[in-house]
Structure 1
Amino acid sequence: MKYHEIWQIISSYKFKSLFIRNFLIILFLIVIPLIAMNMIVYHNMNKTFEAEIESQNNNSLQTVVDTLNNLYNDTNRLAAQLALQNEVQYYLYTSYYPNEGVDKTRSLLNMYTNTYDHIHSIIIYSEQKESVITNQYFGPVQEYADQTWLEEYEKIDKNHTYVLPLKYDNFFPYFLSVIKPVFIDGNKLGTIIINLNIRDLRPVIESSSGEFFDSIYVVDNNTKKVLYNKEISLFQKTFTDLYDANWMLTSDLFYAKNVTIEENQMLVSNENLESLDWSVITLLSLNRFEEQKQHIRNFMYTFIIFSIFIAFIITLIITLRTYKPLGEVISVLDKPERTLQAKNKINKNELMYIYNKIKNNYNNRLDMEKELDDRLELLNKAQMLALQAQINPHFLSNALETMKWNAMMLTGGENDLSKMAVSLSKLLRLTIGSDQNIISIGTEIELDKKYVHIMEMRFKDQFKVEWNLNEKLLEYETILLTLQPIIENAIYHGIRPMKKFGTIVVEIQEHEECIRWIVKDNGIGMHKEELDKLNTHLQDKFNLEGTHVGIRNVNHRIKLLFGEEYGVKVWSERDRGTKVEVKIPKYRSKII
C-alpha cells in the first residue's frame, strides 16, 4: 500500500482511523500514566522544595531571634559588670570623684566601645552629682549634648533593665539604649546607659540570617513602632502604617504565613523575643525561588512533549506495519470476484483466516441474494392468494360506480347499497389496484375501516369495532392486508356463530424494537386442540391448507419479508373469545 493511500485512509476516517486509534491507545496506556507519574513527582518535589524553604526560613528566623536575645543579654551583662566596677561605684555613691578616677572610668568605657562596633557610647549618670561620664565627656548633665535619655530615666522607679529606642539629641544617630538603673536600699543612685547604634547593628543582625530574608523588622509589641530595619529611615515608624496587616502582629510565640504584598508572594514569619516584649518579623519573597521551580516545570513540559513525540513515532511504525496486510485485505474487499478467483499465494497466518472469512461471506452473500429472490417470488404468490385478484380492478371499480348511481336513481338519494358500493370500490382500489407490497400503517387502517364499514352494513346490529390506535405509530410501514384477514376471521369465526351482539377491539402497541397489532373479540373462541393445531401451522414455513387461511397467509408473508422472529400468534378460550397478536418491526423504508 502506497504512503499517499495510507494518508488518504487516515484523512477519510479521521478519528476512527487505525492510526488515530493506535495513537490513542499508546497515549492512554503508556504516555498519560507516565505524564501522571511525572506530575506526581513534580508535585512531591514542589512540596519538598516548599518544605525546605519553610525549614530554612524558620531556622534563619530562629538565628536572628537568638542573635537579638544574645545581644540583649550581653549588653545587660556588660551594664551589670560596669556597675560593679570600683571606680563606677565610687562615682555613683560619693559626692566627690577625683580626676584619676575619671580617667580610669573613661578608659574602661573606651575599651568597651572600641571592642564592640555596635556600641556607640556608654553613659554613666550620677544622680547625686548630677553629672555624667562617657567615653568622650565628663561634666554636668545639663551641659551634655544628648538629653533624650534623661526624661526616660526619671520615669524609672524599678530596678529593671530597660531598652528604649532613642535618637541622639532627638536627631541622629538612632539608638537602642539599654538603661540599667542602679539602686541601693531602694534608692535610685544613677544609671548606666549603653547606646547601641542601629546602623552598626545592621551587619550583626543581617549576617546572622545569612542575608536570607528580604527584610527583617524588630517591632515593639506595645507601641507597634519599628525598632530595627536595615532601612534606617523606618526607625520609629508605625509598622501597621507600613503594611495594612494588623494580623502580622500577634501574641503567638511563632507563626508563618503566605501573603501577597504589593503583588509579590511573600512568606511572612513572626516570633516574639523571650526577654523583651518585641517581635521579630521577617519577609521572604517567594518569587526568588520561582526560577528554580520554572526549571522543574520546563523539565516536565519537555518530558511531556518528548513522550507524545515518541508515542507518535511508535504509532507510525505500528500503523505502517499493520497497513501492509490490511492493504491486501482491502484489495480483496474492493474486488472480491477477481481476487477470490485468482490463485494468489497467501501466507498461512491471520491474513489467511481473514481471507477465508471474506471468501465464505462473499459466497454466503450470493446464496442470500438467491434466497431473497426466491422469497420475493413466494411473497408475490402469497399476495395473490390473499387477494385472489384475477379480475381487472378498473372494471370492478367502474362496475361498482355504476351500481352506486343506479341505486341512487332508484331511491332518489344515498342509501345503504350506494354507500356499500363506494366503500367496496375504495377497498378494491387500495388492494387490487395497488402495486405495492408495503404500505403505511395509516393506509392499512384506512383500508381496514372501509372493510369494517361494508361488514357493518351487511351484518347490521351484530357487532361493533373499537379502535385503540397510537397515532405516532401510523407513519411506520407494514405489509398490505395485515389486519383485514384477521378482522374477517373474527367476524366469521368468532362473532357470527355466537348469535348475539359482539365486540371486536383493534389495538396498536409500541414496544422497544417492534410494533404489536392486537385483535380481540368476545366470540365463541376455539377449543384447545384447534388452537394448538393453528399455532403449530403458524410455525410452518408455508402452509395455506385448512381453516384460518387468512391468518396463516398474513403470518407467512410477514415471516418472508421481515424474518422468522416476527409473525402471528393466537390465544383463545372456548365461549370466552379469541386474541390475535401480530408482531412486526419498526419499519420505515418504502422499498422492498
Structure 2
Amino acid sequence: MKKDSVWTIIKKYGKKSVFFRYVVSSMTTILLIFIPFFFVIFTYYKYVLTQELSKQATINALQSKNIFESLTEDFHTGYELARNSQDVRDFLHSPIQNSGTETKTREFIRTLLQDSSLPEEIFIYSFANETCVSSRETKHLGTDNLYEWYRTYRSTKLPFIMFPRTDETGRFTKLYICNEIYENNKLKGLYCTEMNYQKFVSIIQDSFVSRPDQIFVVSDIGLILYCDNPDLINTQMFEKKDTYAAFRSATNVEGNSIIYDDYIIAVAKSTQSRLLIMSYILKDSIQENYKFVNVLLLSSGIVIFVSSILLALFFSYRQYRSVADVMKILEKPDILNKNDGLLNEFFYIANSISDISQKNESITNELSEKMFLLKNAQIAALQAQINPHFLFNTLQLISLSIIREIKGDNMATYLIHQLSSLVRTAYDTENYIVSVADELETTQMYLNIQQARYKSQLTITVDVSPECLDCRTIKLILQPLVENSIVHGFSGQEPPWEISIRCRIQDDFLVYEVSDNGCGITESDLQSLNAILSSDKIDRNEKVGVSNVNQRLKLVYGRKCSMTIISDPQKRGTTITMKHIINNRL
C-alpha cells in the first residue's frame, strides 16, 4: 500500500481513523507513565526551592534584626541613663516645679541628643509636678496643654509604646517611643523620644540584605509601625484578617519561616523593644527558578508528541496495508489458496467476511420466501376467495341504496360501514406491520359488528397499557383470536358471554392476552391444536385463525415470539397468550 494512499485515508476519516486512535492511545500511554514521574520531580523541586527560599528569608530577617536593634538599643541606653541620673531623679521627685532641677534635666537631655544621631527630641515627664522637660522648653501639662505623645500615652496607659504620627498633609513624619520610669516599683515619670519617621524607614529598609516583597514592623500590641502600604500604617493587625492571622502565627515563631496563603513570612523579634519584623516573600518568586523544569517539561512534551505520531504512523501503516491485502482477497478469494505465507489474523477476518456474505445471501433468499408465505398467510387468515375491490364496492353500493331508500342511516348502514372498513384494512397487503393502536381499532370494528348482533349478551373488556399503543406489531393478529372465541368458544354456550383483551409490555416483549368464558377446549383438541402451533405449515382447518397467527409471528420475529393456550372445559374459559419482541424499526 502506498504512503500517499495512507495519508489519503487518514485525511478522509480524520478523528475516526486508525492513525488518530493510535496517536491518542500512544500519547495517553506515554503520559500515564511520565506524568507521575514529572509530578514527583516538580513537587520535589518546588519543595526544595521553597525550603531554600524560606531559609534565605529567615537569614535575611535575622540579619535585619541586628541592624534594627541599633535603633531600640539607642533608646534603651538613653532610657537607662535617664532613670539612673541623679538630676533626673531630683526632677521626678520634686512635688512642685523647680527651675533648678528642670535646668539640670534639660542639660542632661541636650547631652543625650549630642551623643546620639537618632532622636530629634527627648521628653522627660514627672508625675509628681506634672511638668515635662525637653531640650527646647519646660511645660506644665494641664488638661488643655498636652503633647500629642502624652495624649496617646494617657489613652493607652501602656508601660512601653511606639507609634507614628502625621503632619498636616497626612504624611508620616514623626515616630515616638515612650517608656514609663519606675523607682521602687512606683511610677515616677515618662521617658519619650521623638525621631524622624523617614530615618526610621531608612533603617528598616537598609537592614535587609535582600529586599522582600513586603515588610511589616509591628509592636507587641499589634500596631503596624511600618508597612510598604501607607494605608496600613498606624492601624491594628486585627483590622485585616490575613495579616492578623499571620501576625498571630508569627508571634510564636522566630528563626523559622511560615507559609501563609501566597507568602513565605520570615519573623525576627526585637529583644529590647518587643517589636516584630515580618518580611513577606511571594511564593510566585520561586517560578523564576523553574526555568530548568519548564524547559524539561516542554522538551518532554515535544518528544512525547513526536514519538506518538511516529508510533501511530508505524502501526497504522502496517494495519492499513493488511486491510488493503484483505480487500484484494475479498475481490479475488483465490489469493488465499495461492499464497498461504500471507495468512494472519486479517486474512482470517477476510475469510470470515466471505462466509458471512454467503450466509447473508442465503438469508436474503430465505427472507424473500418467508415474505411470500406471510402474504399467503394473511390471505388464508381472512378466508379471502373473492376480489377485494369488487367486494368493497358492492358493500358501498348496498349502503348507498339503503340510505336512498330510507332517507337516512340505520343499523344496516352502520354495519356495512364497519364491515367495509374492516375489509379495506384486511386487504391492505402492503402494510403488514402496524401500530398496536391501529390493530386494536381493526379488532374493535369486528367487535362492533358482533355486538350489534348479540347486543347485551356479549361483553367486551379492553385493558391496554398506554405505552403499548405506539409499539409496532403484525396486522390482524387479534381479530382471528377474538373470532375463535365467538365462533368456537361460545358455540352451544348460554350467554352472557365475555371476552377480555389485555396488552402490556414485559421484559422488552409485547404481550397480548385474549380470554373468554366459553366452553373451553378438550384435552385431545388442545393437544391437536398445540401440534398445529408447533408446525410450520398453514392448514386450512377450523382452527386456521390461531394457526395462522402463530405462523405469521414466527415468520416475522423468528424465535423471539411465542403463543400459549390455557383451557379448562370444567371451569369454562380459554386464555390465549402471545408475545413478541418489541422492534419499532419494522
Give the TM-score taking structure 2 as reference length.
0.70
Measured against aligned partners, the alpha-carbon deviations of 1:259-282 in whole angstroms (never above 9, x if no partner) come to 89xxxx654544432332322232
Which aligned pairs between 1:285-324 and structure 2 lie closer than 5 A? Answer: 285-286=282-283, 288-293=285-290, 295-324=292-321
| Inter-CA distance 532–183: structure 2 relative to 1 (3 Å threshold) | same
Which aligned pairs between 1:465-504 and structure 2 lie closer than 5 A? Answer: 465-470=460-465, 473-504=468-499
Q: Give the 3-state SS of the residue equivalent to 1:569 in structure 2.
A: strand
Q: Give the 3-state SS of the residue equivalent to 1:240 in structure 2.
A: coil
Correspondence for 1:49: 49
Correspondence for 1:99: none
Contact 1:240/1:246 (<8 A) preserved = no
Q: Give the 3-state SS of the residue equivalent to 1:366 in structure 2.
A: helix
Correspondence for 1:361: 356
Between the aligned partners of 2:176 and 2:364, the Cα distance in structure 1 is: 109
Report the alpha carbon displacement of residue 493 of structure 1 after superposing the two structures with TM: 2.1
Contact 1:451/1:484 (<8 A) preserved = yes
Correspondence for 1:345: 339
Contact 1:79/1:180 (<8 A) preserved = no
Contact 1:462/1:496 (<8 A) preserved = no
The answer to whether structure 1 residue 277 and structure 2 residue 274 are counterparts is yes
Between the aligned partners of 1:355 and 1:445, the Cα distance in structure 2 is: 48
Report the alpha carbon displacement of residue 554 of structure 1 after superposing the two structures with TM: 0.8
Correspondence for 1:211: 210
Correspondence for 2:146: none
Between the aligned partners of 1:217 and 1:25, the Cα distance in structure 2 is: 54
Q: Partner letter of residue 333 of structure 2?
A: L
Find the structure with the greater CA-based Rg.
Answer: 1
| Inter-CA distance 444–62: structure 2 relative to 1 (3 Å threshold) | same
Between the aligned partners of 2:373 and 2:275, the Cα distance in structure 1 is: 108
Q: Give the 3-state SS of the residue equivalent to 1:482 in structure 2.
A: coil
Contact 1:440/1:475 (<8 A) preserved = yes
| Inter-CA distance 287–242: structure 2 relative to 1 (3 Å threshold) | farther
Contact 1:508/1:515 (<8 A) preserved = yes
Report the alpha carbon displacement of residue 375 of structure 1 after superposing the two structures with TM: 1.9
| Inter-CA distance 558–215: structure 2 relative to 1 (3 Å threshold) | closer
**Most deviating of 410-419 and 14-23:** 410-419
Match for residue 149 of structure 1 among 98, 122, 146: 122
Between the aligned partners of 2:238 and 2:407, the Cα distance in structure 1 is: 109
Correspondence for 1:26: 26
The answer to whether structure 1 residue 562 and structure 2 residue 560 are counterparts is no
The answer to whether structure 1 residue 38 and structure 2 residue 38 are counterparts is yes
Correspondence for 2:579: 583
Correspondence for 1:240: 234
| Inter-CA distance 38–394: structure 2 relative to 1 (3 Å threshold) | same
Q: Give the 3-state SS of the residue equivalent to 1:496 in structure 2.
A: coil
Between the aligned partners of 2:506 and 2:251, the Cα distance in structure 1 is: 76
| Inter-CA distance 323–126: structure 2 relative to 1 (3 Å threshold) | same
Q: Which runs of 5+ in 1 are unaligned?
A: 93-124, 139-145, 167-172
Q: Partner letter of residue 383 of structure 1?
A: Q
Q: How many positions carry a matched residue from both structures?
A: 526
Report the alpha carbon displacement of residue 215 of structure 1 after superposing the two structures with TM: 6.2
Q: Give the 3-state SS of the residue equivalent to 1:390 in structure 2.
A: coil
The answer to whether structure 1 residue 438 and structure 2 residue 433 are counterparts is yes
| Inter-CA distance 55–445: structure 2 relative to 1 (3 Å threshold) | same
| Inter-CA distance 480–196: structure 2 relative to 1 (3 Å threshold) | closer
Contact 2:64/2:209 (<8 A) preserved = no
Between the aligned partners of 1:441 and 1:197, the Cα distance in structure 2 is: 99
Correspondence for 1:105: none
Identity of aligned residues (%): 21
Match for residue 374 of structure 1 among 332, 348, 369: 369
Between the aligned partners of 1:238 and 1:368, the Cα distance in structure 2 is: 89
Contact 1:68/1:205 (<8 A) preserved = yes
Contact 1:254/1:270 (<8 A) preserved = no
Contact 1:494/1:522 (<8 A) preserved = yes
Between the aligned partners of 1:147 and 1:17, the Cα distance in structure 2 is: 84
Contact 2:380/2:540 (<8 A) preserved = no
Report the alpha carbon displacement of residue 557 of structure 1 after superposing the two structures with TM: 1.3
Between the aligned partners of 1:425 and 1:559, the Cα distance in structure 2 is: 29
Q: Which runs of 5+ in 2 are unaligned?
A: 89-100, 134-158, 165-172
Between the aligned partners of 1:129 and 1:553, the Cα distance in structure 2 is: 132
Q: Give the 3-state SS of the residue equivalent to 1:518 in structure 2.
A: strand
Contact 2:227/2:233 (<8 A) preserved = no
| Inter-CA distance 267–245: structure 2 relative to 1 (3 Å threshold) | farther
Contact 1:570/1:580 (<8 A) preserved = yes
Report the alpha carbon displacement of residue 555 of structure 1 after superposing the two structures with TM: 0.6
Which aligned pairs between 1:52-451 and structure 2 lie closer than 5 A? Answer: 52-65=52-65, 148-149=121-122, 151=124, 210-211=209-210, 213=212, 218=217, 220-221=219-220, 224=223, 226=225, 239-240=233-234, 248=243, 250=247, 253-254=251-252, 267-286=264-283, 288-293=285-290, 295-332=292-329, 336=330, 338-340=331-333, 345-346=339-340, 347-404=342-399, 414-432=409-427, 434-451=429-446
| Inter-CA distance 80–10: structure 2 relative to 1 (3 Å threshold) | same
Report the alpha carbon displacement of residue 500 of structure 1 after superposing the two structures with TM: 1.7
Correspondence for 1:6: 6
Q: Give the 3-state SS of the residue equivalent to 2:212 in structure 1.
A: coil
Report the alpha carbon displacement of residue 512 of structure 1 after superposing the two structures with TM: 5.3
Report the alpha carbon displacement of residue 584 of structure 1 after superposing the two structures with TM: 3.2
Contact 2:395/2:420 (<8 A) preserved = yes
Q: Partner letter of residue 504 of structure 2?
A: Q
| Inter-CA distance 240–415: structure 2 relative to 1 (3 Å threshold) | same
Correspondence for 2:95: none
Between the aligned partners of 2:310 and 2:440, the Cα distance in structure 1 is: 63
Contact 1:495/1:523 (<8 A) preserved = yes
| Inter-CA distance 194–459: structure 2 relative to 1 (3 Å threshold) | closer
Correspondence for 1:522: 517
| Inter-CA distance 149–77: structure 2 relative to 1 (3 Å threshold) | closer
Q: Partner letter of residue 490 of structure 2?
A: I
Between the aligned partners of 2:560 and 2:222, the Cα distance in structure 1 is: 95
Between the aligned partners of 2:443 and 2:106, the Cα distance in structure 1 is: 135
| Inter-CA distance 502–59: structure 2 relative to 1 (3 Å threshold) | farther
Q: Partner letter of residue 554 of structure 1?
A: V
Between the aligned partners of 2:28 and 2:174, the Cα distance in structure 1 is: 67
Q: Partner letter of residue 350 of structure 1?
A: E
Measured against aligned partners, the alpha-carbon deviations of 1:390-438 in whole angstroms (never above 9, x if no partner) come to 3122333344445445666777765544444443333333324645443
Between the aligned partners of 1:246 and 1:410, the Cα distance in structure 2 is: 104
Correspondence for 2:152: none
Between the aligned partners of 1:165 and 1:415, the Cα distance in structure 2 is: 114
Q: Give the 3-state SS of the residue equivalent to 2:518 in structure 1.
A: coil
Contact 2:519/2:572 (<8 A) preserved = yes
| Inter-CA distance 529–25: structure 2 relative to 1 (3 Å threshold) | farther
Between the aligned partners of 1:151 and 1:470, the Cα distance in structure 2 is: 103
Q: Does 1 or 2 have the higher relative contact order (CA < 8 Å, sep 6+)?
A: 2
Contact 1:179/1:194 (<8 A) preserved = no
